[in-house]
Structure 1
Amino acid sequence: MAAHPSSASAASYALTRGRPVRRAATVLALMVSATLMTSCFGGTAETGVQSGVPATSDLPDAAVQVMEKPEYVNAAWHISVSDLETGSTLIDLAGDVMAEPASFTKSYSVGAAWLRWGPDHTVTTPVKRTGEVTGGVLAGDLVLVGKGDLTLGGRTKADGTVDFANFDHNDANPVPGATLTPEDPLTGLDDLAAQVRASGITSVTGGVTVDDRLFQGQLAGEPITPIIVNQNILDVLITPGQPGAPATVELTPAVAPWQIVSNVTTVAAGADAKVDDPVAGAPGQIVVNGSVAAGSEPQLKTFLLRDPSTFARTAFIEALGRAGVSVAADPLAINDSSTLPAATTVDALPEVAQLVSLPLSEEATYVMKISYNRGAQTLICLLAVDAGKKDCEDGLGVAGQLWADAGLDSDGASLVDGSGLAGNYITAANGVELQRVMAARSDADQWKSTMPILGVDGSLASVQADSPAADKVFAKTGTLVGGDLMNGRTRLNTKALGGVMEAESGRRLAFVIIVNQGFVDGIQGVLAANDDVGAVAAAIQQAY
């Protein structure tokens, strides 16, 4: 039984048109009076709704205090919590009303891939050859076939698990403090190149081509391709020098023809400084402008590759050279997969190298812990391919059918991508049901471990780290941010958190918390909102 988390202030929330609003003081007084007459704060989730008060009365005081902060006075909260053992609903605040879940959407896309293939599933990236090898000389071509490996050996730790930074390089431009992992992002290509050399090939007289035809897709104008090197971005690390001196700028991975044109200067320690996001200059150039303060920590910025296949082709040719395999073809030529024979013909060609991906459990961990947008969308693309289609958008329908077959009412979600950009909608109750489906599986613990852990890692590493709920809440975050030019505010379109928790009483709960349309002050306000939603989850964890 719940530990009586209800309160008079919680009674001030009522459902009107599916969103919480503040009622007039006289109505509130009547509601509180009715609540007191039932000994309440005596109604619990198990016994039902209190007199005149929706099930939101079962929100703990600490949660309500967060929800009543000025940042959320015009916001809509959607909260659903259920007991995983009994199936009983413990909290329902607009739980059946559609809301934007932001990156919690990844629970649907990554979860669908998990349903289809299971946590041990891998993909194999092969290198094929045409022609014959005589005396170490390949009188033909090499074909690197993209298969949708999300990390391509570039994030694998010594123990075989995936590495990630809590503030990952994928979000380095909008979020300050992003860092790199120590692994070499070209490790997978070096492995493949070494295998090519071990197969007996020392030189290639023909061409080198990346076969990127497995699927076609994009996300917010960014290419989604089956060949992924360093998440298809270039990392730009800026380190301050002495005041008045240029900053040191390092590019990772270093692949021709890319080079940095830096206009970043070092200003006095403590002075205002800002580095702009890198932009394209002349062909092969990345321009970085701005300033850094002396003595400050290095700053990480990123540059998105618009032609990942050409980048991968050049990087692979350079890896071949490091492995002792010379290539006659121009390493800087544009990748042209249209010259390749049919995919079935390529599949039947002799194989000279292969790279097996990390298992899906590790790839999912990378996507979920850091909220890797293009990675989640790639899984949707792979679901489309698995169903015999090439258009990534078809993968959403495949995902919907997988969830329906697993017992989830897919009508409770309306999705337009796998990552959680604007335009996706779910009900909080549907998100909870998704977690119930996954919690009933034999690999439920593996699924749980893919999610950020409150106060421990991923996008929840710094959230409620000192709370007694830390290490007991496993949940996917979600954030969508917009602007308010009229008032000079940052609009918090969405802040979401959903997953499972080990409640203080020992009960196992599934939960989803979504707040739409709050208003905060800049990026620091967004980060504070992340902690606020975490505080709501922590309050629920402690109260039940």
Structure 2
Amino acid sequence: MTPILLALLLAAPAAPQAPTPSDPVATAIARAAPGTRIGLMVVDETGREIVAVRPDERFVPASNTKIFTTAAAFATLDMTAPDGGGGAEVRLEGRDVVLSGHGDARLSSAADCRSDCLADLARAVAARTRIVHDVIGDDSALPDERWPQGMSWNNQVGRYGTAISALTIDDNVVALSVTPGAAGAPPAITGDGYYELENRATTVAGGKTALEETRQPGSHVLRIGGTIAAGAPARTVLVGIDDPAHRAAWRLAQILRAEGVRVTGTVSVRHRPPSPSDDPDQRGGAPAPHAPAPPAALARLAPPPLGEDVRHTNKVSQNLHAELLLRRVGATTGSGSVADGRAVVVRMLGGIGIPRWQYEFADGSGMSSYNRVTPRATVTLLRWIAAQPWGAAWRATLPVGGVDGTLASRFHATPLDGRLFAKTGSLNATSAVSGYLTAASGHVLTFAAFANDVPGDASATAAIDQALLAVAASH
């Protein structure tokens, strides 16, 4: 099997030639649904190309975008020390209490919180005063860019497309509990009161649970529809939010009241609208005037090291955390805008020698359909990462085939079980997986695989996995 033969098999405009038994990679790829466009590149430890199928075509990478974002984070930020720079703080401004975020993705208001806890900040306020007026959520440490360009608006209601903010709480989702009632009756739905709930769901006997959540952008009315099976256990539904700073301040007000602090005012927010100065390509003119320094903080949190967050981000493909990492990277040289983060990634890739046309990014997570990257650019970056002092630590953040993360159910009980370390990706008509695998010879191969234009409800995952198994078996 050669790259030339694979190209002939896959590039034909009419029905492809029947692959021969001696070409197991081509045979595997040919199993993808008609119309699917697959790019696959595999190189050995010397950089020699083993497989090259459309290596220089641009593909939507989905969450393989996180490879680029988290590599830039490792190359730019301190991964080992407590994250004092990103921690949230609380201060008093007259009778108002202000909760400020600085890009930490892990602030928690859970009752069983043990680290990076909002309750610790609430107790600092309670120790100083027993009455406050307004509770203000301040996320102006970063520009107010809550969703990436090119993300489908209908993703906003769910946890994968929740808004991004310098002041983030509980992964910026609200948890609802849906408990079935009698057959034909609506289920019971409970939340914490943040959303106004409109219950249009039905309990069905002998049916399946298929709940649907809909909400118009900017609305506090959340509609729950669909069905839940009678006798089924209660289902937890995680719903995205539009204004994380407001949600965080709202939760702080709740905890303050539980701590015996009387809140006499309202919950409000402070945002910093994006401006031309947030784009490195449009900066110029006189610098913006500095705002007066705020009062000293009553308390500031120091979250765990960012390396732990990158591990979580890559293992489960956490979009919100990836977006905040991109903004944190951008804050090292600019305002913390998406454009600043992209500029750091571009400089990193330029330094590696990857041509500019081989990639384009609109976000840090892969939710944007505007992103494009070639298999060759991805493999080049992965090989560069492996040569860095932090390369082994970064690789340890990747899911492991058959073992954990988004690869826990893939490659199990195959020769690549526990021997493939890769980032997955999934989006409309798109799937991807790129990383490292240990072949039958014991040599480590670097690979990038993308499938775009996957029709309808089809999946290209099995075809890609079989191709990688074939490569591993023959090298």
- TM bucket normalised to smaller: 0.7 to 0.9
Matched, 1:447 2:369: no
- Corresponding residue for 1:81? 42
Task: Give the alignment partner of residue 120 of structure 2, picking from 188, 191, 199.
Answer: 191
- Corresponding residue for 1:171? none
- Corresponding residue for 1:99? 59
Q: Secondary structure at the match of 2:137?
A: strand
Q: How far has the Cα of 1:518 moved from its partner?
A: 2.5
Q: Secondary structure at the match of 1:437?
A: helix
Structure 1 residues 98 and 507, CA, compared in 2 at 3 Å: closer, same or farther?
A: same
Aligned pairs (5 A) from 1:38-437: 61=24, 63-69=25-31, 71-84=32-45, 86-120=46-80, 122=83, 123-130=85-92, 139-153=94-108, 188-197=117-126, 200-214=127-141, 215-217=143-145, 218-219=147-148, 220=151, 223-251=163-191, 254=192, 256-269=193-206, 271=207, 274-279=210-215, 284-296=220-232, 298-330=234-266, 333-336=267-270, 345-346=292-293, 349-406=295-352, 408-420=354-366, 421-437=368-384
Q: State the one-letter code of the partner of 1:498.
A: S
Matched, 1:20 2:4: no
Deviations 1:266-298 (A, max 9, x none): 2112x2553222436997542212221124454
Q: How far has the Cα of 1:12 moved from its partner?
A: 5.5
CA contact (8 A) 2:338 2:363 kept: no
CA contact (8 A) 1:129 1:140 kept: no
Q: What is the rounded CA distance, in whole Å, between the counterparts of 2:124 and 2:388 in structure 1?
A: 38
Q: Secondary structure at the match of 1:87?
A: coil
Deviations 1:116-138 (A, max 9, x none): 1142252332434346xxxxxxx
Structure 1 residues 378 and 543, CA, compared in 2 at 3 Å: closer, same or farther?
A: same
Q: State the one-letter code of the partner of 2:382.
A: Q
Q: State the one-letter code of the partner of 2:130.
A: S
CA contact (8 A) 2:33 2:455 kept: yes
Q: Secondary structure at the match of 1:291?
A: strand
CA contact (8 A) 1:454 1:464 kept: yes
Structure 1 residues 15 and 201, CA, compared in 2 at 3 Å: closer, same or farther?
A: farther
Q: What is the rounded CA distance, in whole Å, between the counterparts of 1:540 and 1:272 in structure 2?
A: 40
Q: What is the rounded CA distance, in whole Å, between the counterparts of 1:195 and 1:518 in structure 2?
A: 53
For structure 2, which runs of at least 5 residues remain unmatched after alignment?
A: 157-162, 273-288
Q: What is the rounded CA distance, in whole Å, between the counterparts of 1:283 and 1:511 in structure 2?
A: 44
TM-score (norm 1): 0.73
Q: What is the rounded CA distance, in whole Å, between the counterparts of 1:120 and 1:344 in structure 2?
A: 32
Structure 1 residues 81 and 353, CA, compared in 2 at 3 Å: closer, same or farther?
A: same
Q: Which moved more, 1:403-412 or 1:454-463?
A: 403-412
CA contact (8 A) 1:278 1:302 kept: no
Structure 1 residues 469 and 430, CA, compared in 2 at 3 Å: closer, same or farther?
A: same
For structure 1, which runs of at least 5 residues remain unmatched after alignment?
A: 1-5, 33-39, 42-59, 132-138, 156-181, 482-491
Q: What is the rounded CA distance, in whole Å, between the counterparts of 1:186 and 1:356 in structure 2?
A: 9
Structure 1 residues 196 and 437, CA, compared in 2 at 3 Å: closer, same or farther?
A: farther
Structure 1 residues 470 and 406, CA, compared in 2 at 3 Å: closer, same or farther?
A: same
TM-score (norm 2): 0.82
CA contact (8 A) 1:74 1:518 kept: yes
Q: What is the rounded CA distance, in whole Å, between the counterparts of 1:141 and 1:187 in structure 2?
A: 23
CA contact (8 A) 2:108 2:170 kept: no
Q: What is the rounded CA distance, in whole Å, between the counterparts of 2:378 and 2:443 in structure 1?
A: 19
Q: What is the rounded CA distance, in whole Å, between the counterparts of 1:90 and 1:337 in structure 2?
A: 51
Q: State the one-letter code of the partner of 1:216.
A: D
- Corresponding residue for 1:507? 443
Q: How far has the Cα of 1:511 moved from its partner?
A: 0.6
Q: How far has the Cα of 1:151 moved from its partner?
A: 1.8
Q: Secondary structure at the match of 1:475?
A: strand
Deviations 1:409-437 (A, max 9, x none): 45421222222221211110110111111
Deviations 1:243-266 (A, max 9, x none): 344423343xx2x44353423232
Q: How far has the Cα of 1:390 moved from its partner?
A: 4.9
CA contact (8 A) 1:211 1:337 kept: yes
Deviations 1:455-498 (A, max 9, x none): 222222212222221211111112221xxxxxxxxxx2x22110
Q: Secondary structure at the match of 1:147?
A: coil
CA contact (8 A) 2:90 2:121 kept: no
- Corresponding residue for 1:488? none
Q: What is the rounded CA distance, in whole Å, between the counterparts of 1:446 and 1:91 in structure 2?
A: 27
Q: State the one-letter code of the partner of 2:12.
A: V
Q: State the one-letter code of the partner of 1:413.
A: Y
Q: What is the rounded CA distance, in whole Å, between the counterparts of 1:291 and 1:518 in structure 2?
A: 29
Q: What is the rounded CA distance, in whole Å, between the counterparts of 2:112 and 2:102 in structure 1?
A: 21
- Corresponding residue for 2:409? 462
Q: How far has the Cα of 1:73 moved from its partner?
A: 3.1
CA contact (8 A) 1:145 1:212 kept: yes
Q: How far has the Cα of 1:440 moved from its partner?
A: 0.9
Q: What is the rounded CA distance, in whole Å, between the counterparts of 1:130 and 1:241 in structure 2?
A: 46
Q: State the one-letter code of the partner of 2:255.
A: A
- Corresponding residue for 1:478? 425
Structure 1 residues 154 and 466, CA, compared in 2 at 3 Å: closer, same or farther?
A: farther
Structure 1 residues 323 and 404, CA, compared in 2 at 3 Å: closer, same or farther?
A: farther
Q: Secondary structure at the match of 1:431?
A: helix
Q: What is the rounded CA distance, in whole Å, between the counterparts of 2:296 and 2:123 in structure 1?
A: 17
Q: What is the rounded CA distance, in whole Å, between the counterparts of 2:449 and 2:251 in structure 1?
A: 43
For the aligned residue pairs, the C-alpha RMSD in angstroms reads: 3.3
CA contact (8 A) 2:187 2:202 kept: yes
Q: What is the rounded CA distance, in whole Å, between the counterparts of 1:194 and 1:458 in structure 2?
A: 35
Q: Which moved more, 1:288-297 or 1:432-441?
A: 288-297
